[in-house]
Structure 1
């Protein structure tokens, strides 16, 4: 990088300082002119959250995101630094990232005066200008703002001297973005310590008011006050944030599927085929859970439940493929039962019976399979297929190989005709599972499961 390395060269280069808000505003405008999203990788917020975020950033407001768990608050916060300039100059060695043309500490001004044009200049990347703190009950003012350093006092400095301070995360994020996650968890007395930093942009330590013109964009996340039982957000602090943005869960299954696809952590060295019905069933199950009367809607049904379910069902397909020495691994609808422990573990059921959660999970899965079956095959007449399975119940072995599955299906021509020719040979078992499980969900077939096999037969059996 051919950047100026001293103050004289920096001035000669024509460098003009910009505040954090000016940087962000210019970069937001650049994205808008290019018809690019302000934040990449978000789904379902195009008409709700993102327009509010654009306006807040353009006008330079500090922002607080309110919403239940798993709504992308932290993800949005962690990508905001991409709206900063890629590189900026700082006074070399400055703990506060001071601008060489606008130093804020008396000692730095004296240093620049002494060194003159030869004063060294360093350049920092925008990624280092973002600081994040998870609010915890043990957080102290020293962590966030700073504390008097007794060693520096012992060296002969006065308590009122800014050089006696060991600065905390907030002032060290000068000329950057500072984020606090789960703000209500921060003790109220510590929240009070942030009031001056947010409004007057100065800090107070041990009774000493240190006037530092900090240049920081503050961003925070919080659960709604009626949900969190661990603490509360004090009104004066909430009032300091210029914009409050309320997040929400995906409102349509397409957005849920897009999030799961982008966020799921799957083995990169293994090939897994996921037919479209699989993600559609998982997303539908999550959407149904968000309206279920026995599930706590105050704590919410996080998208992480859908992600964990998809990861678990992928693992089930991989285990079967390894046992049968098959490649690639293809997910089947019957694999979805493996997703229930992961899914149920991320919902809060309003019942004292620990078994109730799994019962609700099974019911949601059956309901989702029925809905997706209807979407795919609801207009087809299944009479001949049901009669065929009634005459000859179909038994599917646990971890049955794809070859054995194909051989078995040869004896059920009505089933193959009902499924149709659109699925590939790899995906065929998944669609057959969908038809069979869908007919069970709509009570036209029965399903009996033992340790090593599942039998589909007459609903009257």
Structure 2
């Protein structure tokens, strides 16, 4: 049974330590045990994670710099796993006072009056992490303010009894995160100086000071963080570590995030069979968007683009399966027509782009570049000449998202030379995968300039040049 009073705590031999020392100890223990330090965060093992480890070992406050969708908030929240499962605090204390060294007046009075029989409680790890989004935040929210009700009740203005504690004091002996630091008002940035350097707070200019034991972490867009005037220089100087995040460095890492985050249940009686090339296209769309001259790269393109696009792709394939009574849900190229709904709003056009395109036109180009890139990669070494030669003269091949998968047998009959590359891509597994492979090959040949294509609505007709 855990100790319930200060006296019992002393008898147990418990020794308190600062939150940063506590996190360092638990981090070292996790590293020595070979544990994964940040479960669920993909692609940071050799880049971001070492920086965070160094910051914890150095007892540094830190700021995560990165564009949207780079797991900054998730990394900050994951820091709490290096806190002890429970720590003792004086029962009822608003600022989680250390039973051996209280800092608030109320707890000091209790100990002065009752000594070692003062009750303690055990604060769980999840209550020692707090965060706040910067826009709209006031000093009273973070630091605290005078409580009019307490003042009206007779509490002296210069007394702790008149105070209402803000979020940071309430996270004493814990971790506090502030998202979007550049949006924090200058006065609040100034109020953070003492916490970062002197580790104490002052409220309303009254001579009331509290030594804070807290790890402060921040997030920011690097462009805004470095822009002159957005962040007070002295505040930057007091933050121990600037940690740069990034998007997945490989397509495989991006797809691992999609697999982890996307919600793609297809329902009872249906089976999802997504071809690898379609999954590659989904992630390649995001990759192409991140390097497109039409997209504002300062804003970034979140991993949420891949996640929602994959969910939409599967949803349309599922709609087809339900409508046509097919039990295999297989995304194909014609389903890409529905990705505009999940892509819009996640891609911010560059206001200074040379060519004036609408958002829909920009997304269309990005999708086409993605399909072309995956096609060239997947068909490298294949002889596509027989396929092109078979689609000549009056031969027309029509595709669409609501054409039954079994009907694609007729396409192979009209151009039998397409069967070999379809087979190589794995199209002999089912009618659905065969349809997906046929559409992929036809669209790839069009995008590489070897076939013509005419689109009417969601239908596409391919013919020779």
Q: Distance in 2 between matches of 1:226 and 1:213?
A: 31
1:186 aligned residue: 184
CA contact (8 A) 2:312 2:339 kept: yes
Q: Distance in 1 between matches of 2:401 and 2:226?
A: 43
Cα pair distance change 1:387/1:146, threshold 3 Å: same
Cα pair distance change 1:225/1:373, threshold 3 Å: closer
**C-alpha RMSD over aligned residues:** 2.3
Q: CA deviation at 1:220?
A: 0.2
Q: Deviations over 1:295-318 (max 9, x none)?
A: 222112222222222222122212
Q: CA deviation at 1:135?
A: 0.3
Q: Deviations over 1:140-176 (max 9, x none)?
A: 1110100111222232322222122100001000011
Q: CA deviation at 1:406?
A: 4.6
CA contact (8 A) 2:201 2:211 kept: no
Q: Deviations over 1:1-37 (max 9, x none)?
A: x322222322222222121111110111122112333
Matched, 1:403 2:406: yes
CA contact (8 A) 1:38 1:54 kept: no
Cα pair distance change 1:44/1:242, threshold 3 Å: same
2:89 aligned residue: 90
Q: Distance in 2 between matches of 1:280 and 1:452?
A: 22
Q: Distance in 2 between matches of 1:305 and 1:373?
A: 21
Q: Secondary structure at the match of 1:266?
A: coil
Q: Secondary structure at the match of 2:460?
A: strand
Matched, 1:224 2:222: yes
CA contact (8 A) 1:274 1:330 kept: yes
Q: Distance in 1 between matches of 2:161 and 2:224?
A: 43
CA contact (8 A) 2:372 2:447 kept: yes
Matched, 1:299 2:299: yes
TM-score normalised over the length of structure 1: 0.92
Q: CA deviation at 1:334?
A: 2.2
Range moving further from structure 2, 39-48 or 159-168: 39-48
Matches within 5 A, 1:333-344: 333-344=333-344
Q: Distance in 2 between matches of 1:126 and 1:163?
A: 28
Range moving further from structure 2, 223-232 or 206-215: 223-232
2:196 aligned residue: 198
1:383 aligned residue: 385
Q: CA deviation at 1:267?
A: 4.2
2:101 aligned residue: 102
Cα pair distance change 1:357/1:451, threshold 3 Å: closer
Q: Distance in 1 between matches of 2:171 and 2:159?
A: 20
Q: CA deviation at 1:339?
A: 1.4
Q: Secondary structure at the match of 2:52?
A: helix
1:26 aligned residue: 25
Q: CA deviation at 1:379?
A: 0.8
Q: Secondary structure at the match of 1:32?
A: helix
Q: Secondary structure at the match of 2:70?
A: coil
Give 5+ residue unaligned stretches, structure 1: none
2:237 aligned residue: 239
Q: Secondary structure at the match of 2:176?
A: strand
Q: CA deviation at 1:355?
A: 4.7
Matched, 1:313 2:313: yes
Cα pair distance change 1:453/1:154, threshold 3 Å: closer
Q: Deviations over 1:348-368 (max 9, x none)?
A: 223589853222222221121
TM-score normalised over the length of structure 2: 0.92
Q: Distance in 2 between matches of 1:57 and 1:431?
A: 50
CA contact (8 A) 1:195 1:240 kept: yes
Q: Distance in 2 between matches of 1:227 and 1:431?
A: 46
Q: CA deviation at 1:55?
A: 0.1
Q: Distance in 1 between matches of 2:186 and 2:322?
A: 54
Cα pair distance change 1:150/1:408, threshold 3 Å: same
Q: Distance in 2 between matches of 1:273 and 1:71?
A: 29
Q: Deviations over 1:49-77 (max 9, x none)?
A: 11111100111100011122221111111
Q: Secondary structure at the match of 1:447?
A: strand
Q: Distance in 2 between matches of 1:355 and 1:76?
A: 36
CA contact (8 A) 1:340 1:358 kept: yes
CA contact (8 A) 1:313 1:331 kept: yes
Q: Distance in 1 between matches of 2:368 and 2:283?
A: 13
Q: Deviations over 1:408-435 (max 9, x none)?
A: 5455432222211534224332222221
Cα pair distance change 1:449/1:385, threshold 3 Å: same
CA contact (8 A) 1:132 1:178 kept: yes
Cα pair distance change 1:268/1:34, threshold 3 Å: farther
Q: Deviations over 1:214-267 (max 9, x none)?
A: 110000001124589997111111111100111222222122222222222334
2:418 aligned residue: 415
CA contact (8 A) 1:145 1:203 kept: yes
